[in-house]
Each structure stands twice: as structure tokens, then as C-alpha cells.
A and B are shown apart, each in its own frame.
Chain A
Amino acid sequence: MAFSSRGLVLLTLGAAGLWAAFELRLDPRDLVPSDGGMVMARELFSRAWSPALAYEAADVPAGTRPLLLKALEAARLTVVFAAAAISLSLVCGGILGFFASTAWWVGDQTGGAKVGWSRHGVRPVVYGVARLIIALMRSVHELLWAVLLLAAFGLSQLSAVIAIAIPYSGTFAKVFSEMLDEAPRDSAVALRSAGASSSQIFLFGLLPRALPDMSAYAFYRFECALRSSAILGFFGYPTLGYYIAASFENLYYGEVWTYLYTLVLLVVVADWWSGALRRRLVLA
């Protein structure tokens, strides 16, 4: 980039930041908590090094499961929602992503001569509709889908899975279609010259070339799904977010950290897993 354009870009971004600060009346003095806030912050963060291992409440009803078991159970449901949502979105997003890619209809799949638009028939329409559906699914956040589904069906675990799966399917479809379109065309060319049909070229020439990228991305989204699923707890599902909010509101700050660290552990493991996979599949 030329120097002037670089300066201009940074200047614009800085100006946008200033506009936002004025619009929101962001005052640095508000960053200092009030006395009550300060006390709370001190109590909360002083427990960061000593998360609770047992309930902090004085009167725990007999027969309540131990805190750590409860955290484990919340973690299990968090993983269940995430895994179910990811598998559902892989199926829906995979199908949508196929139709939203240009690889299956523009030109001859090998990236060679392009055919005129009029020769494609309904295919551009299918492509356009797929793109539109993807944009609509993605543009509403999973928590808003959850609110809508809650209002329509009431609290149900399947609704939580579907709420995550809708925007995630859209994202998978968008990213997968781009990966299919950008995959190397060498095997497609070879298959074409051997006389393979379109579907054979797609299945054995294009898809395998994009598959490593696609699976690495799927694992990365699993990590995101874990966070989304934990957050759904704030809307009443007994995932980790539910207990974080409940313990926080009861001022049991040690328990807040127990649940928070459980979530961090889940996310860090998933992060390491997807990172290791990416290094092997994509960067190798």
C-alpha cells in the first residue's frame, strides 16, 4: 500500500473510533467503579485464585450433588448442545454451501472456459437463493434465534440446539462454498481429461481438495459453539452460563470462578485440538 492511502485508512479508523466514543459518551472517568462496584470487584477477583470446591451457601439441602459434579454436569450439557448443533449445521451448511458455490455450475469445474449466463438455465437462480438464505440465517445472532424460539415454543433443549445451528449452518455454508471455489483444480482437470462426469469431478476432484480446510474450520467452529452453548445458560438452559449467572447473583464468587474455569478449560482444550488439527491438515 502506498504511504498516503495507509495514512488515510488509519485516520479514517481513528475518526470512526472518536465518533463512536462521542456517540456513546464514553468518559474515562466512568471506568473507575463506584464504591459498591469496587468492593464487588475486589471480592470477585480475590477469589480468582481460590475457586470454590464446595458450595458456599450455608444451608445446602441434603442430597444436593457436590459442586464439582454439578459443574461437570453443566459442562456435559454445554458439550452436548455444541456437538449436536455443530453436527446439524455441518449437514445443513454442507448442502447449502454446495449450492452457494460456483464450482458446480460456472464453466466446466476445471476453471476453464466459462459458459454464457443464458446457458446455465435455473442454476444461477438456485445459487442466488442459496446465497440469500445463507445471509438471512447468518444475520440473526444465535441468542436472538434462541429468544425467538423460546417465545414460539417455550423452553426446550432441542430449541437451544436449533438456535445455535441456524446461524452456524449459514456460516458453514458461506465458508465451505468459498473453500470449494478456491480449492486447487488440478485433480478436477485430470479427472475431466479422463472423461469423468460432473458429479464424479465434484466428488473425487474438488471435494477432497477442499476437505482438509473444511474439517479444520469445522473444529474451530466447535470451539465457538461451546461458548455459544454456555451463553445460552443465561436464558434458562442449565449449561455453564446458567450457573455462572446464578452464583454471581447470589454473591458466591468462588463458585463463579469454578464454573468460569470449567468453561475456560473446555474452550482451551477445543482450541488446542482445532489448532493441532489445523497445523497438520492445512499448514503441513
Chain B
Amino acid sequence: MSVDGRIAEVERLRRRRPRDRFARLSVWALVLLTLLAWSSEGLWSTDYFSPRRQQNLQRFLGELRPHPLQGQPFDVSVATAWAGEILSERGWEAARITLAMSVAAIVLASLAGLALTLTSARTHATSEPYLPGPRPPTRGQRWVWRAVVGASRLVLILIRSIPEYVWAFILLAVLGPNAWPVVLALALHNAGIVGKLTAEVVENLEPGPLRALRGVGAGRLQIAATGLFPLILPRFLLFFFYRWETCVREATVLGMLGITSLGFWIVDSRARNHYDEMFFFVLMGAGLVLIGDLVSAVAREVVRRAA
């Protein structure tokens, strides 16, 4: 083939490349949205380089230094003594509470998510799960199951589209200051996510084993307990650890509403203008998140290998 012929061939192939109109429109819409967003004048109303702000920034950065060391040369022993005092007074306890909140929340979320999975997976919540029954389902039966799936999907969307912070804010007013509002807020939002993801896994399962169970007369709950849960467990554990990571992050922050996790001490020290302590607690939160990510990554790798 001549060079021109080859170029023409490449050009022909390029024109025939698969294109998706919806995807292209979406990208253009996002570009347009981005341009509109950046042209919003509110974003540009602050002069970060005004002398007053510069001064403020200088002061702030100076105050991040542990206060026994402010205006002093750096001394490791003084710094460790200062950090040790914060840790033993509040730090360790706050970190433990933050961790406990994330664990309690993800356990509750996964239980609730699993329950909602059973009612929102179209292959499972149907009048004839996995195998046609002896009699065709009546129109009423079909309608009832469709309503069950629709309702539980609506619940999943509602609980996950309301952010944890808003849930916690409302629950705190209803339940008062104990750990429940934070745990429940995290659990609700994450149950919505875990439930959605697991329902997708259930719908894409190879139906063979489940059909066999149905064939010997197992009911929906029996199928779930003996076939469904064991089959989805590896994927489910991946979601569990993946969402637990975010729970650690969020549990830190939700303390800002008044429960003594790390976030509480962050806003508390900010309110008292102790920026050195605030920064220390932010760093502690970051450390906790890093450890959480590491544990989760190792756990997910183990699950992936075993599956």
C-alpha cells in the first residue's frame, strides 16, 4: 500500500472510532459548568495578597508552633513533653473514640446494607426468584414485589444522598449528646452506599447455585443465608473496608458537632485560639486516617487473594 493509501486508511479508521454522544455531551456540559463556575465573581472577591491578610497569615503560621516554643529556639524535649501532655489528657482517648465510632458505624451500616440488598436486588426480590414457580405469579404479586424493590431503592437513594454531617446534625438535636448520633449518621449514609453496591453484585451473580437451592425448595431467606451471602462475601468485604476508610475520615470530622472525637478538640482548640493544639489534633487525625488506609489496603489485598 502506498503511504498516501495508509494515511487514508488511518483517517478512515479514525472516523469510524466508537463514539458515544451522551459521553461527549456530558464532557462538554462539565466543561461549560467549569467555565461558569470559575467566572462566578464571588470566587475572585478576596485579595489574598493584601497586607492585612499577609500579616494574619504570618501570625497564624507562627501560632502553629507549640506554645512553650513560641519565640524560642526549637527544643525536641520541650516539644515531646508538650505533645505527651495533650496525648495523655485528651489525644489518645479522642483517637480511640474516633476509631470506635468508625468501627461501630461500618458494622451497623453493613448489616443494614445487607438487609436492604435483599429487598432491592431485582433478581432476589421478585415473585419468582431464580426459577419459575409452579404457578405463574398473579399480577398482584408481581406488583407487590415491584413496589418492594422500588421502595427500598428509594430508601437507599435518600439515605445516601443526605450527607453524614447533615444526618448527624439532625440526630444530635433529637437524641442528645451521646455517641449514637454520629454512629447512626455514618451508618445511615454508608448503608445506602453498601446496599447499592451489593445489590449490583447480587444482580450480576452467576445464578446456578441459587437456582439449585430454589429447586430444592429453599425460600428467599434460606437462599440468602446459604447461597447468596457466601457468594457475595469477598466483594462485600471489599466494600466493607473501602467504606470503613471513609468512616474513619468522617468520624474525625463529625466530632465537630460536639461529640469528643478528634474533631471536637479541633474546633475546641480553635475556639480558644490555641492553634498549636488545633494543628496537633489535625495531624493526629491524619495519622489515624493513614493507619486506617493501610489496614484497609492490607485487608482488601488479603480478601482479593483469598477470593
- The residues of A that contact B285 with a CB separation of less than 8 Å are 139-141, 144
Does A136 count as interface, using CB distance less than 8 angstroms? yes
Contacts of B43 in A (CB 8 A): 80, 84, 157-158, 161
Pick from A21, A83, A136: contact of B30, CB under 8 Å? A83
Task: Report yes or no: A277 in contact with B23, Cβ–Cβ below 8 A.
Answer: yes
Q: Which of B34, B252, B278, B286 contacts A83 (CB 8 A)?
A: B34
Contacts of B157 in A (CB 8 A): 268, 271
User: In the complex, what distance in Å separates the CA atom of A17 from the CA atom of B109?
Assistant: 11
With A and B bound together, what is the CA distance between A231 and B162 in angstroms? Answer: 10
User: Interface with A: B83-91, B94-102, B208-216, which one?
Assistant: B94-102
Complexed CA–CA distance, A227 and B165 (Å): 9
B270–A151 contact, CB under 8 A? yes
Contact across chains for B286 and A23 when beta carbons are under 8 A apart: no
Alpha-carbon distance A24/B74, docked complex (angstroms): 38
State which residues 119-135 of B face A: CB under 8 Å. Answer: none
Contacts from B to A (Cβ < 8 Å): 20, 22-23, 26-27, 30, 33-34, 36-38, 40, 42-46, 48, 53, 56-57, 60-61, 96-97, 99-101, 103-104, 107-108, 157-158, 161-163, 165-166, 169-170, 173-176, 178-180, 183, 230, 233-234, 237, 240, 249-250, 252-253, 256, 263, 266-267, 270, 275, 278-279, 282, 285-287, 289-290, 293, 306-307
**Interchain Cβ contacts under 8 Å between A and B, 28 examples:** A6-B230, A16-B103, A17-B103, A20-B99, A24-B104, A26-B178, A31-B175, A33-B176, A44-B170, A80-B40, A135-B290, A139-B290, A144-B253, A144-B263, A147-B267, A153-B53, A156-B48, A158-B46, A218-B30, A231-B166, A234-B169, A260-B162, A260-B166, A264-B158, A264-B161, A271-B157, A277-B23, A284-B20
Chain A residues engaging chain B, CB cutoff 8 angstroms: 1, 5-6, 9, 13-14, 16-17, 19-21, 23-27, 30-31, 33-34, 37-38, 40-41, 44, 77, 79-84, 86-87, 135-136, 138-141, 143-144, 147-148, 151-154, 156-159, 161, 215, 218-219, 222, 227-228, 230-231, 234, 241, 244-245, 248, 260, 263-264, 267-268, 271, 273, 276-277, 280-281, 284
